[in-house]
């Protein structure tokens, strides 16, 4: 008896287009809600979470000394051999001990951004930061040196991330940047 009732119910549903109307209702709901597109690069930019593995940085202690002691553990941990570390003795107090890196190079073309160097570092000097716009038109900016890596990144560690920030598309000589304004952020509409 209930199978008959099922069949009648299904038939009535088909004649009254119930499933079509339900589908149309879902689509209308999407049509009337805001879209989730991030308007990169003209208007907005995505600020990743802290755990994001972007371009490397070399960190400093709060009083300005280099944390890297050139132990070469990151170089040995790297699966693609893209990190080159050459230590040197130093008494000027540049670093936290008497050993600092003379040369600390990373080849961004070979890097997998796996984070093994970050995990291997005993002093938490090497960190993968949140810079992800690494595309370039020639190979001159693919090998990063120590001095460049010591500069503070555009997104400090204190910012939680996971938001979309208002950004400007800035064209300089030879370089283009998307500068994010970390003060005006909005949550991502999933």
Partner 1 sequence: MTVIIMVVKVGVVAMILFGLPLPLTWLERKVAGHIQARLGPFRVGPHGVLQPFADMIKLLLKEDIVPDKADKFLFKIAPLIAMVPAFLVFVAIPIGDKWTIPFINKDITFYVSDMNVGVIYILAIAGLGIYGMIFGGWASNSKYALLGGLRSSAQMISYEVALSFAAVGVVMMSNSLSLVDIVKSQSGGFWNWNFFYLPVGPVWFFIFLIAASAEINRIPFDLPEDEGTLSSGFHTEYSGMRFAFFMLAEYVAMVTVSVLAVVFYLGGWNPPVDIPYIPDSILPFYGIGWFVAKSVVFIYLFMWVRFTLPRYRYDQLMTIGWKILIPVCLGAILVTGVMRI
Q: How far is CA 99 from the centre of its chain?
A: 31
Q: Are the C-beta atoms of 68 and 104 separated by less than 8 Å?
A: yes
Which residue of 26, 88, 109, 139 would you call a contact of partner 1, by CB under 8 A?
Answer: 26
Comparison of 26 and 109: residue with beta carbon closer to partner 1: 26
The stretch near partner 1 (CB under 8 A) out of 31-39, 64-72, 76-84, 107-115 is 31-39
169 binds partner 1 (CB under 8 A): no
Q: Are the C-beta atoms of 68 and 58 separated by less than 8 Å?
A: yes
- For residue 30, give every residue at least 6 positions away whose Cβ sits within 8 Å of its Cβ, in sequence order, or none: none
The stretch near partner 1 (CB under 8 A) out of 36-44, 137-145, 159-167, 173-181 is 36-44
Comparison of 6 and 42: residue with beta carbon closer to partner 1: 42
| Pair of tokens at residue 160 | 């939680």
Q: Which of residues 55-114 bind partner 1 (CB under 8 A)?
A: none
Phi (first) and psi of residue 80, to 5 degrees? -110, 5
28 binds partner 1 (CB under 8 A): yes
Q: Are the C-beta atoms of 95 and 49 separated by less than 8 Å?
A: no
Task: Output DSSP code: residue 151.
Answer: S
The stretch near partner 1 (CB under 8 A) out of 20-28, 60-68, 124-132, 163-171 is 20-28
Alpha-carbon dihedral angle through residues 142, 44, 57, 95, given to the nearest 10 degrees: 130
27 binds partner 1 (CB under 8 A): yes
10 binds partner 1 (CB under 8 A): no
17 binds partner 1 (CB under 8 A): yes
């Amino acid at each position: 008896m209930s199978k008959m009732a099922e069949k009648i119910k299904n038939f009535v549903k088909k004649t009254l287009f119930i499933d079509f109307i339900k589908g149309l209702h879902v689509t209308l709901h999407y049509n009337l809600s805001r879209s989730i597109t991030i308007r990169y690069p003209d208007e907005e930019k995505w600020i990743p979470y802290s755990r994001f593995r972007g371009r490397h940085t070399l960190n400093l202690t709060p009083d300005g000394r280099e944390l890297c002691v050139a132990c070469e553990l990151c170089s040995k941990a790297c699966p693609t051999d893209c990190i080159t570390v050459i230590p040197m003795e130093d008494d000027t107090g540049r670093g936290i001990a008497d050993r600092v890196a003379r040369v600390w190079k990373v080849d961004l073309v070979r890097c997998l951004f796996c984070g093994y160097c970050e995990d291997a570092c005993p002093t938490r000097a090497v960190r993968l930061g949140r810079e992800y716009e690494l595309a370039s038109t020639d190979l001159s900016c693919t090998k990063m040196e120590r001095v460049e890596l010591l500069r503070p990144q555009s997104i400090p560690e204190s910012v939680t991330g996971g938001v979309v920030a208002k950004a400007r598309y800035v064209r300089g000589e030879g370089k283009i940047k998307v500068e994010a304004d970390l003060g005006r952020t909005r949550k991502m509409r999933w």
